[in-house]
Amino acid sequence: MSQKNRLQSGGRIDRSKALSFSYNGRQYQGYQGDTVASALLANGVDIIGRSFKYSRPRGIVTAGADEPNAILQMGATEATQVPNVRATQQELFNGLVCSATNGWPNADSDMMSILGKVGGKMMPPGFYYKTFMFPQSMWETYEKVIRKAAGFGRSPLENDPDEYDHVNQHCDLMVVGAGPAGLMAALTAARSGARVIIADEQNEFGGHLLSSRERIGGKSAADWVAEIVEELASFPDVMMLPRSTVNGYHDHNFLTIHERRTDHIADKAPTGQVRQRMHRVRAHWVVLATGAQERPLVYGHNDVPGCMVASAVSTYINRYGVVPGKQLVLMTTNDGAYQTALDWADAGREVVAVVDTRANPQGELIEAVRKRGIKVITGSAVIEVSGKKRVSGVTIANIDAKGEKVTGKAHSLMSCDTVASSGGWSPVVHLSCHTGSRPQWNDEIIGFVPGPTVQKQLIAGGINGTYALDKVLAEGVKAGQEAATRLGLTAADTQLPNVRSVREGKAMALFHVPHSKPTSRAPKQFVDYQNDVTAAGIELATREGFESIEHVKRYTAMGFGTDQGKLGNINGMAITAKILGKSIPETGTTVFRPNYTPITFGAIAGRNCDELFDPKRFSAMHKWHVENGAKFEDVGQWKRPWYFPKAGETMQQALDRECKATRESVGILDASTLGKIDIQGKDAREFLSRVYTNAWAKLGVGKCRYGLMCKEDGMVFDDGVTSCLGENHFLMTTTTGGAAGVLEWLELYHQTEWPELEVFFTSVTDHWATMTISGPNSRKLLAELTDIDLDKDGFKFMDWRAGTVAGVPARVFRISFTGELSFEINVQANYGLYVWEKLFEHGAKYNLTPYGTETMHILRAEKGFIIAGQDTDGSVHPFDLGMGWCVGNNKPFSYIGKRGMAREDCVRPNRKQLVGLKTKDPKVVLPEGAQAVANPKQAIPMDMLGHVTSSYWSANLGRSIAMGFVKGGLERMGESVYYPLADGRVIEAEICSPIFLDPKGERQNV
């Protein structure tokens, strides 16, 4: 297809560089400098998608970030799919592949539109909620169908091949927007010596000047912009970021910029290049020069392709050399839009009429239009357009001075294919709202401007409601000077260029064009195109009682699209206000939140993928585990061996073998991941006695002790063994997952409650490799490798000794988590693998068997030892665990947890207590989490007595074992409880001691 709407000359496109691209599977041509939208319009493509709810054909409406309809699915391959790309902001490149986001089988002939036509009247706001509510269980089914019908982009099914990154930036001044105000602010601040970042969402700096025919200082606007850009580039401390949207303005002048570095070059970033970058900027001062967006008017069938915003029409003509139609009707409430009629006429196409809603408009531009012989119809409005897939004509009627009703008969069905409308301009206040400031209505400019803020923020130009170019430039200079002064610099003087000011008449505050029928019966008048919200819908919402603007928004879904209602929200608020008989400031506004435009997940993630997002931690012996076939389990960030299956073994067979080998001869566990905190200082011992529940005053050098740690509420939160290394020197161990939390806990109490205690804490988890050998032959094995005297009476249970193991300096702790004779060998992490391998060299004759976390869990459960975090959940105190033996009642200081444990609720009878559980059928293993009840025949909901916390098959005992909570369980030994399961089975279990094996603890004392 030829570019039938392309002009022979003009615009900022390079006609010598033709680009081909694919839209909905068809090939088209455009030029370097086009956006996808301008290229589609050049090719005469009218329909760009189907609407969300009614499936009406939709066309391109704007030329920028506010575009509600031209939302495309982009990507040449599955991996490079990007949903919801605004065609108006996507630069064209050769080979670009895109398609309409919704429409089935395609946007041109859409099946769903039948539903829209037939059901239109029957699909008011809240339609889906009202219709598909019952039965509630079916909603998930309905939702899938509704969402498919509604369309909208899809995510890629393959991994994104591109790289994204984040950069932290610091500057004196961040200028947002590089239109005339932003350029002047940045230039003035730069000349004053400030370090400046200036960012703009467009591919070139200049803002609306890129599509303007104004002259500045005797030059074309484009030449003037080029000069300013050249000077800015000469400053070493000015960073210029085109194609960079400032998407968020956060507290303390923190801004996020989404820079698209290669999206304009190719489907995939060239090798070695980053596709998109997120700049995280901390700025001393910020100038918002974000400009303004034109409001379309709301009138009947205003969504038919060919209805556009007036300034967008000018942009397509002046910047891209594209006239998006043949015959134009322009409707306006203000003088500025007359420029569009002039631009259209200068492009050599017909302006059918300018329809001005004001009775007697006066101004330079109006005179210029009249002088060209263009018909100007005053005191009137386009109340309705005709046409299905493209505008074919308009109905015009006289309206009253307030714009509230049609006076007289609707008349003159004029034929045209394009309707451009302008209801005035809305300052782009979005960023100023992000930190909580509410915009304020300004009657003078008929729009919201930024409200007061606590941020170090200045505004200039269109965002301030200042639209005349000479005043915009002056505000830019002033903002740059003020920023410089506030930064303590001497503000430079920037000469203002000579700009002709245009005499304009007063604009009319009109948002919703009246129709000869009441709104509810008039043709659909769209407010929010993307979510299919109409004026009638808003009227209905208020009639149903949704009177707060926030409620109207949520009920109608106005502003909930990917465009966040940039185009329609102000019109929607004005309509709500009119219906409620209030003013716009009384009705108020919703606030905008980050991000200003949608952002890719790639840019959010940056390099924080895989290991860089969540690091993996490995022990010093990891290589050996991998080589010996370990299956791994994640414990926090640690990769811990779970079990070591041999060829052909099931998991249970491996566990049975590991459990038996340990109890019968000797097993070995990599325990390096346990948290280790080195504690030193003359008050270390006192500190320990305050944070542990048990006594520490008399623990001698060379001794170890198990301790429970509680929070102030008396609930257990961690446990572990602490050893006395010297009179003022201890080594605390914590659970693997709790290490960081415990260290922070210790620091909190030391720094905030007891700073007078002299004590220091250092994490040494990574400094030591820890291997535990456990089983009756562990002493014999260790004896072959150590110089430490292992005599059972000299090196007793709960002692530790320093010496060498395999020639390496080591600390050996005789502590046990299996109930067997055990030695925990600690060596410097660098020697870990060496010592581990030495142990295996000597251990072969004892059948030394490596085991992982699962066997560790089984062996400790056979002994009734708890695992903090598995058998505790922050709601159990030591007595609930049957561990009152670990609570010291005679300690002088009221340690953490003591008072908490004495609270009324903690001492009441019938608390849930940890007990052992033996299933009646020893072959049946209870599922962890199963709920205990007294009577399984009770009607649901049953009274629940507690739940299973740990449950395993014990090969050593030849039966299942379990631990769990039961109300008053410690008093109910021998009684039965029942565990009804989701599959209908009921498992009966007997309450027993949790110590299933060696209740006297003889095995560890040999």
Partner 1 sequence: MLHIYCPHCREHREEEEFHVKGQAHIARPLDPDSCTDKEWGEYLFFRKNPRGLHHEIWYHTTGCRKFFNVTRDTVSYEIKEVYKIGEQPQVVAKG
Q: Where do contacts with partner 1 occur on this chain (CB under 8 A)?
A: 250-254, 282, 435-436, 454, 712-713, 744, 747-748, 751-753, 755, 894, 898-900, 902-904
Phi, psi at 851, each rounded to 5°: -135, 160
Q: Which of 853, 860, 867 is nearest to 956 (CA)?
A: 860
As measured in angstroms, the least distance from the Cβ of 280 to partner 1 is: 8
- State both tokens at 127: 């339609």
Q: For residue 923, which amino acid is it?
A: K
Residue closer to partner 1 (CB basis): 372 or 903: 903
- State both tokens at 307: 């209805």
Residue closer to partner 1 (CB basis): 137 or 890: 890
Q: Which of 55, 40, 66 is nearest to 101 (CA)?
A: 55
As measured in angstroms, the least distance from the Cβ of 841 to partner 1 is: 42
Kindly give the residue spans of alpha helices, DSSP state H, lying in 269-428.
310-320, 338-346, 364-371
Cα–Cα distances in angstroms (integers) from residue 430 to residues 499, 591, 595, 994, 995, in the given order: 29, 8, 9, 62, 64
Q: How far apart are CA 785 and CA 807, in angstroms?
A: 8
Residue closer to partner 1 (CB basis): 690 or 912: 690
Q: Which of 117, 134, 108, 98 is nearest to 24 (CA)?
A: 98
In degrees, to the nearest 5, what angle opens at C-alpha 685 toward C-alphas 681 and 687? Answer: 85
Residue closer to partner 1 (CB basis): 434 or 578: 434
Across-strand partners of 354?
330, 376
- State both tokens at 638: 């640690």
CB 780 within 8 A of CB 799: no
Task: Please state whether beta strands 425-427 and 292-294 pair in parallel, antiparallel, or not at all (unpaired).
Answer: antiparallel
Q: How far apart are CA 382 and CA 426, in angstroms?
A: 21
As measured in angstroms, the least distance from the Cβ of 712 to partner 1 is: 6
Q: Which of 361, 384, 335 is nearest to 514 (CA)?
A: 384
As measured in angstroms, the least distance from the Cβ of 279 to partner 1 is: 14
Residue closer to partner 1 (CB basis): 450 or 775: 450
Residue closer to partner 1 (CB basis): 658 or 880: 880
H or E segment to which residue 550 belongs: helix 549-556
Q: How far apart are CA 82 and CA 160, in angstroms?
A: 10
Q: Which of 680, 748, 696, 686 is nearest to 717 (CA)?
A: 748
H or E segment to which residue 146 belongs: helix 139-150
As measured in angstroms, the least distance from the Cβ of 899 to partner 1 is: 4
As measured in angstroms, the least distance from the Cβ of 748 to partner 1 is: 6
Across-strand partners of 952?
961
- State both tokens at 546: 């949704």
Residue closer to partner 1 (CB basis): 322 or 732: 732
As measured in angstroms, the least distance from the Cβ of 765 to partner 1 is: 15
Cis peptide bond prior to 994, omega within 30° of 0? no
Q: How far apart are CA 633 and CA 854, in angstroms?
A: 9
Q: Walk across the sheet containing 71-74 and list its strands.
A: 26-32, 14-23, 96-100, 71-74, 82-86
As measured in angstroms, the least distance from the Cβ of 501 to partner 1 is: 39
As measured in angstroms, the least distance from the Cβ of 755 to partner 1 is: 7
Contacts of residue 592, defined as CB under 8 A and 6 or more positions apart, other chains included, come to 429, 430, 433, 434, 564
Residue closer to partner 1 (CB basis): 78 or 744: 744
Residue closer to partner 1 (CB basis): 411 or 899: 899
As measured in angstroms, the least distance from the Cβ of 722 to partner 1 is: 21
Q: For residue 939, which amino acid is it?
A: A
Residue closer to partner 1 (CB basis): 905 or 1002: 905
Kindly give the residue spans of alpha helices, DSSP state H, lying in 362-509.
364-371, 430-433, 469-486
Q: How far apart are CA 786 and CA 771, in angstroms?
A: 14
As measured in angstroms, the least distance from the Cβ of 900 to partner 1 is: 7
Residue closer to partner 1 (CB basis): 280 or 471: 280
As measured in angstroms, the least distance from the Cβ of 458 to partner 1 is: 18
Residue closer to partner 1 (CB basis): 143 or 614: 614
Residue closer to partner 1 (CB basis): 282 or 959: 282
Residue closer to partner 1 (CB basis): 444 or 904: 904
As measured in angstroms, the least distance from the Cβ of 76 to partner 1 is: 36
As measured in angstroms, the least distance from the Cβ of 872 to partner 1 is: 18
Q: How far apart are CA 815 and CA 143, in angstroms?
A: 58
